[in-house]
Amino acid sequence: MTATGTGTETGTAAGHPCDGATPDAPIIRVRGLLNRFGDQVVHEGLDLDVRPGEILGVVGGSGSGKSVLMRSILGLRVPDAGQIEVLGTDARSTAAADRLYIERNTGVLFQDGALFSSLTVGENVQVPLKEHHGELPDSWRYELALLKVKLAGLPADALNKLPSQLSGGMRKRAGLARALALDPPLLFLDEPTAGLDPIGAAAFDHLIRTLQQALGLT
């Protein structure tokens, strides 16, 4: 598994102690990461820094640990050893305030979008808004969902469609719209172009670069 990255610096997430850090302080910091499944070691002594504004690609074959690394950074998996900080917060912390901070400041596009099949695209995009901003009126959440759908390159009428009515590429864009729902400074994309043809993959890559430049994403 290898990692490649490129990008420019942006500010750190607002409203957190790491705001006072230097502009190039890592937004993700991994030290000595160890992940194993039985006798199979996936990561051993892995160190990684991701700085604000970077686009980092982790490249490797199936089963090489790309998704395991992402889940470890997000706190969805407890590694066997090592330290992980996300936006200055311990990713392994079980404190409710720390978990909430990371959840509100990270967006995740899982493989194939991971949309709720019984919900429309608009309802899927509104899930994180309801969870973290339940005080917002329904009309506001609808308008925000529409905005995110358009940002992800989908037509407005996709809002009322079920995931089963979308192509593979459109499902990925719908998943991206949901990942952007909370305006996170940090975005994770798990196999974002898998299953897409070369033209669709190139278009999705271009969309990510455009959003990164426009929104200051990492």
Last residue of a domain, one of 47, 73, 94: 94
Q: What is the pLDDT of residues 114-159, one digit of tens each?
A: 888 999 999 999 999 888 888 888 899 999 999 999 999 999 999 9
3-state secondary structure of 187: strand
Q: Could you tell me whether strands 28-37 and 81-86 are parallel, antiparallel, or unpaired per DSSP bridges?
A: antiparallel
> Within a domain: residue 39?
yes
| Same domain, yes or no: 86 and 115 | no
Range of the domain at 170: 105-218
- Per the document, the length of the chain is 218
The predicted structure's pLDDT at residue 86 = 95
CB neighbourhood size of 192 (10 A): 21
Which pTM does this prediction carry? 0.83
| Same domain, yes or no: 118 and 208 | yes
Domain count, the chain: 2
Q: How far is CA 206 from CA 12, 189, 203, 212, in A?
A: 24, 14, 5, 10
Residue 182: what are its φ and ψ, rounded to 5°? -95, 10
In sequence order, what are the beta bridge partners of 57? 4
Q: Is residue 33 very low, low, confident or very high in pLDDT (cuts 50, 70, 90)?
A: very high
Residue of higher predicted confidence among 8 and 158: 158
| Same domain, yes or no: 21 and 87 | yes
Residue of higher predicted confidence among 14 and 80: 80
- Kindly state the average pLDDT of the residues 18-33: 78
| Same domain, yes or no: 67 and 112 | no
- Kindly state the average pLDDT of the residues 166-188: 92
Give the Cα-Cα-Cα angle 25, 98, 136 (nearest 5 degrees). Answer: 105
> Within a domain: residue 153?
yes
> Within a domain: residue 134?
yes
Last residue of a domain, one of 68, 94, 120: 94
- First-to-last alpha carbon distance for the chain, in angstroms, is 20
> Within a domain: residue 99?
no
The predicted structure's pLDDT at residue 113 = 67
| Same domain, yes or no: 114 and 206 | yes
CB 197 within 8 A of CB 205: no
| Same domain, yes or no: 208 and 115 | yes
Residue 143: what are its φ and ψ, rounded to 5°? -65, -40
Please give the single-letter amino acid code of residue 139.
Answer: S
Q: What is the pLDDT of residues 55-74, one digit of tens each?
A: 999 888 887 889 999 999 99
**Which pair of tokens denotes residue 54?**
């970077």
3-state secondary structure of 183: coil
| Same domain, yes or no: 24 and 79 | yes
> Within a domain: residue 190?
yes
Rounded distance, CA 94 to CA 35, Å? Answer: 19
Averaged pLDDT score across all residues of the chain = 86
C-alpha 147, offset from chain centre:
18
CATH number where 112 lies: 3.40.50.300
State yes or no: pLDDT of 13 exceeds 90: no
> Within a domain: residue 100?
no
What residue spans of the chain are helical by DSSP H?
66-74, 96-104, 121-132, 138-151, 168-179, 198-215
| Same domain, yes or no: 124 and 60 | no
State yes or no: pLDDT of 15 exceeds 90: no
